[in-house]
Chains A and B, each alone.
Chain A
Amino acid sequence: MSLNVRINGETRSVEAEADTPLLWVIRDELDLTGTKFGCGVASCGACTVMVDGVATRSCQTFVGDLDGSEVTTIEGVKGPVAEAVQKAWQDLDVVQCGYCQSGQIMSAISLLSEVPNPSDEDIDIYMGGNACRCATYQRIRAAIHQAAGQAEG
């Protein structure tokens, strides 16, 4: 069936069943490959996108349930918080293999949008659903602190 999806500020028409995970619509139909498939069961966070500004696991979100919601992927993030997060990630060279990092960055942006100056504990709780097999966690923590300072300052 034909569905309209609001994504990164545009309305795109896609051919998909309503129960198709948003992840696969984003990747295979809309060709936005920055959002990753890691587990398919919402336990790794690699597929994290924003739905109406809130970090959401796209592998467990049916495209038919979006109902006009605004989806933002790593390709579409903008604004001072997103820029501060991406810059901090680059300054500190957080990435290793990088496959989880789109999801990490989406979660970090979502965290800083809710809690502008998070503690280590806030970070550990909020970022707990984003796995990184390269174990870049200490740099993720440091980058979120740096971004918090810059987005505020």
Chain B
Amino acid sequence: MRLTIWGCRGSVPTPGPATVHSGGNTSCVEVFVDQDCALVLDAGTGIRGLGEQLMRRGCSRIHLLLTHLHLDHLEGLRFFAPLWDSRVTVEIWGPPSPLVSLRERISRAFSPPLFPLHLADVDAQVKFHDVPREPWKIGGATLRAQLVVHPGPTVGYRVATETASMAYLPDHEPALAGAIEGRDVEWISGAAVAADADLLVHDAQFFEDEYEARIGWGHSSVGDAVAYGRAVGAKRLLLFHHEPNHSDRGLEELEGQARAFDGAGELQPTLAREGMVIDLPLARALDKR
């Protein structure tokens, strides 16, 4: 399994000299499992660059897994090149809603005045699925989704193969559902997807003092992200969904705080950065050192 980070910024794209190292595109991660199809997590602005690469690779079958439909996780979809190619099939998975289907909700982004074209104008074969409650398979991967604490219907994902597993919870405020430390793991939000993952990609948007003024916004402090990673038994922690106001320098400070919170732990909290590539299982990388 190979992860490539195409966008890791939260809330709104932040291009510019202050973010060249961490990147300014919003959430998008590719999980490469096998040649048959592409797995894509979220459709933030990072998906535009991924789309171009998928076209160069001749990829014709794509599964797009949306955690939720906030704009920073959806706004790149309209500029996702495979969507405008009739040879491509795109299957879009997302959280269920009690009132409006996934297709209807996404179609709002494909309509005037937000966009000149409609979803019906898309050339690719597009299928929509509410995520199932039980695990399901796509190619060589077993996937699982679980509702997590974030405003509106939002899920986290687990992608597992025979050799590795990763969990993706880019927008998550588990502290809102009670203390993280000292709680049985089965009672922690998102644990069904995050438990014992080789790599946990998790929301760490705020410093502790910033979080105090933003409780309930649906995002985590860096301290809570580390506490969460430890509580669910993750092996590594990738700090994700960077606050738009945080420059590269600020994010390095945040990463340092995360490592201080982890202390002698083994999470090795690390900032997600655009262009980062991670091969799982990690043992392979460790053997190289």
Q: Do A and B come from one complex?
A: no
